[in-house]
Structure 1
Amino acid sequence: KKLGITKEEKDNFIPAPTAYAYTSHMYRAAYEGHLGDIIAAILPCYWLYYEIGERLKECQPEEPIYQEWLSAYGSDWFRTLVEEQITRLDTIAEKVTEADRNRMRQHFIFSSQYEYSFWEMAYTLEKWPVNEEVKGVI
């Protein structure tokens, strides 16, 4: 509501290719894997957002929504959340098979790559390469 996005805009939203691929990757990790796969797939996002929030939390953006973002992700509670997830992932990794650890590692690496690509996507305003109507398909 704060952003003024209408229901119609929300209903007609089509994610950019990288956003679609990244979320599909996380859904697949959750659907096919176990808790370790899920944490490995989402941890790069948590960790990166915390690092950005921590480094920029003293900034005073003019737009309130950016200040809220920095305050949330640079906060002690979010740092604690990230640290808990890192510890949880390490604990799970100690108890699973080598094949499971390799799969978890691959999820983490893919998600790290997607995080980079996600920010690049936003910066370049990435669009689908073929401008076809895909509403209702995705």
Structure 2
Amino acid sequence: MSFCDTIWEEIAPLRQSILAHPFLSELAEGTLEPESFRHYIVQDSLYLAEYARALAIAAARAPTAAGRLEFSDGAKVAVQVEEALHQAFFAQFGVTPQTAVQNEATPACLGYTSYLSSLAATRSYEELIAGILPCFWVYWEVGCAIKPRAVSPNPYAAWIETYAAPSFGEATDRVRALVDEAAANASETTRAAMASAFRKAARYEWMFWDSAYRREEWPI
């Protein structure tokens, strides 16, 4: 079994917790409170700006042309999603660009982006791309899981379609292949560090949706 398949099975309980989270259940049902989704898209906009930087650093550090192309393309797509999908949702849910810029990253958002930044700045390329992968793979699983049961019409249909799109699944598969290739050529110590990075990033995915559902702010 490949590195990615092994760690994916290991985090099965976490994945089930993500799929069962009321943020995503209610999103599929079209009943998610607009305020919770508004909180999410603003924070996701802040997240994607930093995620694009992590992808760009991964591209610069990649040892192969395939890695450089994939991660540089990923950085570009992250910015495009921010500009297209988020701007459409900003208009739909009454968020002005000025409001989005003025918002502060919540503890969950700052924790996640800071973790990715620390991987990019202080850890190996292998750990960095392992930490990058959950944002692709978890979203792809979520999109595929909720699309068949999503009500129609649904105010969140564009979000669901984005992450259930075959093109997003293909991008996920390409990043998985790069992570598996890196793991196959890495030492046991590095593979353990990669697994740790993957698990932490996957936990942050749950925390991100949970914080949006609760409309989390700084406690003091």
TM-score, structure 2 as length reference: 0.54
**In 1, distance between residues paired with 2:216 and 2:160?**
24
Q: Of the candidates 146, 161, 166, which is equivalent to residue 76 of structure 1? A: 166
**C-alpha separation in 1, matches of 2:138 and 2:184:** 24
In the alignment, structure 1 residue 62 sits paired with structure 2 residue 154: yes
Of residues 23, 29, 37 in structure 1, which corresponds to 2:127? 37
1:126–1:80 distance in 2 versus 1, CA, 3 Å: same
Higher mean displacement: 118-127 or 33-42: 33-42
Higher helix residue share: 2
What residue in structure 1 maps to residue 197 of structure 2? 107
CA offsets 1:51-91 (integer angstroms, 9 cap, x no match)? 1111222433432xx22221121111111111111121111
Query: What CA distance in whole angstroms lies between the structure 1 residues aligned with 2:193 and 2:180?
Result: 14
Q: AA paired with 1:70?
A: I
- For residues 21 and 73 of structure 1, the distance between their equivalents in structure 2, rounded to whole angstroms, comes to 23
SS in structure 2 at match of 1:57: helix
Structure 1 residue ranges, 4+ long, deviating more than 6 angstroms after superposition: none
CA distances 1:72-122 after superposition (whole Å, capped 9, x unpaired): 211111111111111211110011222221211111111111111111111
State how 1:1-138 maps to structure 2 within 5 Å: 1-2=87-88, 3-4=90-91, 5-58=95-148, 59=150, 60-63=152-155, 66-130=156-220
Q: Larger deviation: 8-17 or 28-37?
A: 28-37
Matched residues in 1 for 2:133 and 2:163: separation?
A: 14
Structure 2 vs 1, CA of residues 79 and 10 (structure 1 numbering), >3 Å: closer, same or farther? Answer: same
Equivalent residue pairs, number: 128
CA RMSD, 1 decimal = 1.6
Q: Secondary structure at the match of 1:128?
A: coil
Unaligned runs of 5+ in 2: 1-86
Q: TM-score, normalised by structure 1?
A: 0.83
Segment drifting more, 96-105 vs 15-24: 96-105
**5+ unaligned residues in a row in structure 1: which ranges?**
131-138
CA distance in 1: counterparts of 2:168 and 2:97, whole angstroms: 30
